[in-house]
Amino acid sequence: MHKSGSSSSLGPGGLDLTQAFFRPILSAAPPSPTKRHTKISVVGAGNVGMAIAQTILTQDLADELVLVDAKADKLLGEMLDLQHAAAFLPRTKIMADVDYAVTAGSDLCIVTAGARQMPGETRLNLLHRNVALYRSIVPPLVKYSPETILLIVSNPVDILTYVAWRLSGFPSNRVIGSGTNLDSSRFRFLIADHLDVNAQDVQAYIVGEHGDSSVALWSSISVGGVPILSFLDKQEIAYEKETLENIHKEVVDGAYEVIRLKGYTSWAIGYSVANLARTLLRDQRRIHPVSVIARGFYGIEDGDVFLSLPAQLGRSGVLGVANVHMNDEETHRLKKSAATISELTSQLEI
């Protein structure tokens, strides 16, 4: 399969024309061998994978972008389509192949591939099929990029992040799930919409499972540095708990609504994952609610459960988990969310 995105060998017999176009300046040193070269590989060229790839390109996050998929023709078509936009994008080498060797030396490997649930299929059977799929994905990524960070996007993301961790043999800080980073973005948008402020001024987290048992941390929400619920209490402004629950329900149902209307989700998760890639590869040390190993945090002590917690991310992956305030009810719900995930992971053979 055609791999490379560009070539300077355009002359007769593959003559390298760069020597004809450009003459070196006097007393020039050779290129520095220490120049940082950032390489990102995306596994899965479906709607989500391509939205992530497109966002990475437009945000100039990589010097080299690699696409891997089992469908060779679609993969080649997607690669060519992106390459043809080169004049409108930052300079990035785009490569694609069905062979994982093309991913060698990746700084970040993003996995979006996953089996789709068949009509009438149980969730557990779907998980078994995804474990089988991950057996063919994770080991070759590790083989060709032993120092990479694995960023898992496939659903159910918390369980598959655990699967990827087990299959990779990596330290837990280098295996991360996209988790509730997008859920928290939806949450911030809805709160900002209710208060008529910019979502960037809202600090709010959804934690736990990326799914129905997720937990909204209302007790720690702030807008412009002002804690919302304590402010309402001090001002004796009444609010209904049902209103808060409805906002959380909108967050949980958000993806389902998009899927109902357009058939799939893509753009929001594309921006969310690119946001994580920027923080990781540029060592920005920002806090994101992502799926990490949760044992030892907030009273979760049993098993190696992965779920979303507010984690500080940087060039080495997960740097730590923030000690965000949770009230008793939120802590109880988080433990319940962990139990839901643990019940499923305990039934997997990895």
Euclidean distance between CA atoms 277 and 131, whole angstroms: 24
- Ligand-binding site membership of 44 (annotated): yes
pLDDT of res. 16: 64
281-296 b/e (C-beta count within 10 Å ≥ 16 → b): beeeeebbbbbbbbee
- Ligand-binding site membership of 99 (annotated): no
Q: How confident is the model at residue 18 (pLDDT cuts 50, 70, 90)?
A: low
pLDDT of res. 316: 94
Question: For the CA atoms of 196, 201, 207, 212, what is the dihedral angle to 10 degrees?
Answer: 20
Nearest to 292 by CA among 270, 322, 325, 330: 322
pLDDT of res. 140: 98
Euclidean distance between CA atoms 167 and 160, whole angstroms: 10
Q: Which DSSP helix (H) or strand (E) runs through 234?
A: helix 228-234
Percent of the chain clearing pLDDT 70 (strictly above): 89
Could you tell me which residue, 144 or 25, shows the higher pLDDT? 144
User: Considering the entire predicted model, what is its pTM?
Assistant: 0.89
Q: Are 142 and 41 in contact (CB under 8 A)?
A: no
Euclidean distance between CA atoms 117 and 100, whole angstroms: 25
Active site residue 210: yes
Q: How confident is the model at residue 255 (pLDDT cuts 50, 70, 90)?
A: confident
- Ligand-binding site membership of 48 (annotated): yes
pLDDT of res. 136: 96
- Ligand-binding site membership of 130 (annotated): yes
* Paired tokens of 171: 């330290």
pLDDT of res. 35: 63
- What is the tens place of the pLDDT at every residue in 194-243? 889 999 999 999 999 998 889 999 889 889 888 877 777 777 676 667 77
The answer, yes or no, to whether residue 6 has pLDDT greater than 70, is no
Helix axes 72-83, 47-58, angle to 10 degrees: 20
Q: Are 67 and 73 in contact (CB under 8 A)?
A: no
Q: Which residues contact 280 (CB under 8 A, 6 or more apart)?
A: 108, 149, 151, 176, 313, 314, 315, 317
- What is the tens place of the pLDDT at every residue in 53-77? 999 999 999 999 999 999 999 999 9
The answer, yes or no, to whether residue 9 has pLDDT greater than 60, is no
- Ligand-binding site membership of 69 (annotated): yes
Q: How confident is the model at residue 301 (pLDDT cuts 50, 70, 90)?
A: confident
- Ligand-binding site membership of 305 (annotated): no
- Ligand-binding site membership of 41 (annotated): no
- Ligand-binding site membership of 47 (annotated): yes
Which residue in the list 37, 210, 248, 288 is annotated as catalytic? 210
Q: Which residues contact 283 (CB under 8 A, 6 or more apart)?
A: 314, 315
Helix (H, G, I), strand (E, B) or coil at 182: helix
